[in-house]
Amino acid sequence: MPVTNFFAHIAAIPFEGFLNITVKKDGEQLTTSVLLQNDGCGDVAKNHIPPLILKGSAKELCEGFFDAVSAPLAETSKLLVNMEAYLKGQETAKKNAAMEKKKTEKADKSDKPTTPEEIKEMKYRGIMAEVDKLEAAGKYREAWIKVPKTSEFPEKSEEMQKRRASLSAQFSPDLFGAEQPTTAITNVEPKTEQDVTDHIDAEGIPDEGQGQ
């Protein structure tokens, strides 16, 4: 029986998976279909890779079969391996993203105030941030009004009194060009914004008589 080197040629092709080779004979004409499959690739896109189809006589196929299929099979094998690597990379990326999301959520929760003291401090900072914005916009009276009462934050009383004094010092002079005294309104605490309005004269300047 003659020795063939067919399988030696197959073994020389760098591929992973298995080859499906079918041969159809039609008279002297042969039609060969070669399809590389790799079960290790989980991407369904691999199912759209068509088989290699070669037609010719037995002599023609013997002479040109491996020259025609070697390079395409090697490239297809690389493609399937890369597709699987890509899928695994995607899965790893998803897991890492989920882990990072959990870490972020955990960090966000840990940053949120939990005790009454922390909640109160956060509230105070929020109010004073609004005071800062009003002052930066040159709205000194509105900023003065926004400073909370010492009864709300007794531990911040000294800080708030200083802030009122600082704001009242920046009030514009009245219509007659007289400087407004700052001591008269420094420690006045409005119960409500309406109270402050009641203590402001026609020019919008705090009434000294009401603040004493």
> Residue 42 region, left (φ>0) first, then alpha (ψ -120 to 50), else beta?
alpha
Q: What pLDDT does residue 115 have?
A: 82
What integer is the mean pLDDT of 113-121?
Answer: 80
Poorest-pLDDT segment among 6-10, 95-99, 118-122, 168-172:
168-172
> What does the pLDDT read at residue 197?
42
Type of residue found at 109: K
Tokens, residue 31:
């039609």
Regarding whether 143 and 63 lie in a shared domain, the answer is: no
In sequence order, what are the residues at sequence separation of 6 or more whose Cβ sits closer than 8 angstroms to the Cβ of residue 206? 141, 168, 171, 180, 184, 185, 188, 196, 199, 200
Whether residues 126 and 182 fall in one domain: yes
Q: Would you call 158 exposed, middle or buried from its count of C-beta atoms within 10 A (0-12, 13-18, 19+)?
A: exposed
pLDDT tier at 5, thresholds 50, 70, 90: confident
**Residue 160, CA distances (Å) to 4, 131, 186, 193 in order:** 99, 11, 10, 17
Same domain for 10 and 75? yes
pTM (predicted TM-score): 0.41
Asked if residue 194 and residue 142 are part of one domain, the reply reads yes
Residue 142 has pLDDT above 50, yes or no: yes
212 has pLDDT over 70: no
Closest by alpha carbon to 160, among 171, 146, 140? 146
Phi, psi of 34 (to 5 degrees): -125, 120
Q: Based on the structure, what is the number of domains in the chain?
A: 2
Same-domain check for residues 128 and 207: yes
Rounded to an integer, the average pLDDT of 131-148 is 89
Taken in order 100, 103, 105, 107, is the CA torsion positive or negative? negative
**In-domain check, residue 18:** yes
In a domain, 49, yes or no: yes
pLDDT in tens, 19-39: 899 999 999 999 999 998 888
Please state the rounded mean pLDDT for residues 60-86.
89
Is 55 contained in some domain? yes
Percentages helix, strand, coil for the chain (3-state, rounded to 5) are 55, 10, 30
Whether 81 and 120 map to the same domain: the answer is no
CB of 79 within 8 A of CB of 17?
no
DSSP 200: B
Write down the pLDDT at residue 181. 46
Examine the domain organization and report whether 65 and 145 are in the same domain.
Answer: no
In a domain, 23, yes or no: yes
The DSSP bridge partners found for residue 22 are: 33
Phi-psi map region of 68: left, alpha, beta (phi>0 left; psi -120 to 50 alpha): alpha
- Show the domain range for 26: 6-86
**pLDDT tens digits, 164-196:** 888 888 865 543 444 444 444 445 555 544 444
Q: Residue 82 above 60 pLDDT?
A: yes
26 domain residue, yes or no: yes
